[in-house]
Structure formats: C-alpha cells, structure tokens
C-alpha cells in the first residue's frame, strides 16, 4: 500500500507570492491533517479535515487555508507569503480522526 504522498517535495517562493501544497492520503483514509514544522516554533497544528469538512483549525492567520476533495486528497494554500512561512509542511492521513495518523515526508517551503 502506498504511503502518504506530498507534492512538491521542495518549493522556493518569494515574499508576497502564494503557494498551494498537495497531499494524497493512503488509499481508504478519509481524514487528513496538516502541520507546520519550524526550528523555532516546532510542530504546530494547522488543519484537520474529515470527509471534506474542516473539523479543526489551528491558530494561524487567515492567509493559511485548506480544503479536502471528495477523493480525500487535500490541498493547503498560503497567500501573501512571508519569510516566516518558511517551514516543513507535513500532512498526515488516517482512516478517521480516531485512528492512527500516518505522516508523509513533507514539503519544504523556502520563502526568499
């Protein structure tokens, strides 16, 4: 069974641009969560989706948004990028919010 896939793996953007990151969950998984990992702040929860509905949202500004499609694939978008948005963005999928999460390898975003 294929694991969680995140695309792209690496991304370089400049301040003010916007970016879309994609996450394909393990087949059959309907729950997807997103986390931001930085050296300073560590791992911080961004969003949780289940069956196309946002179930929970972390404490991030409105520039961060996400969605989940009917095939459970998820995207997150960051608009008006800032230098501080440089981070590893991790996606995790599970059968449901109450099952073990499996993490993808992450997308490393660098904002110049």
Partner 1 sequence: AQSVTQLDSQVPVFEEAPVELRCNYSSSVSVYLFWYVQYPNQGLQLLLKYLSGSTLVKGINGFEAEFNKSQTSFHLRKPSVHISDTAEYFCAVSKDDGGSQGNLIFGKGTKLSVKP
Give residues in contact with partner 1 (CB under 8 A).
Answer: 4, 31, 33, 35, 42-45, 48, 50, 55-56, 90, 92, 94, 97-106
DSSP state of 99: S
**Gap between the Cα atoms of 94 and 9, Å rounded:** 21
Nearer to partner 1 among residue 55 and residue 73 (C-beta): 55
Least distance from partner 1 to the Cβ atom of residue 16, Å: 29
Q: Residue 28 or residue 100: which is nearer to partner 1 going by CB? A: 100
Helices H, strands E: what count in the chain?
0, 11
């Amino acid at each position: 069974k294929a694991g969680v896939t995140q695309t792209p793996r690496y991304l370089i953007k400049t301040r003010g641009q916007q970016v879309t990151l994609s996450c394909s969950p393990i087949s059959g998984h309907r729950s997807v969560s997103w986390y931001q990992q930085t050296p300073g702040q560590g791992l911080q929860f961004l969003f949780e989706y289940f069956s196309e509905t946002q179930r929970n949202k972390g404490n991030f500004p409105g520039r961060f948004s996400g969605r989940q499609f009917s095939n459970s694939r998820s995207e997150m978008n960051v608009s008006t990028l800032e230098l501080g948005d440089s981070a590893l963005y991790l996606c995790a999928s599970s059968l449901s919010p109450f099952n073990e999460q499996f993490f993808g390898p992450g997308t490393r975003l660098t904002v110049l």
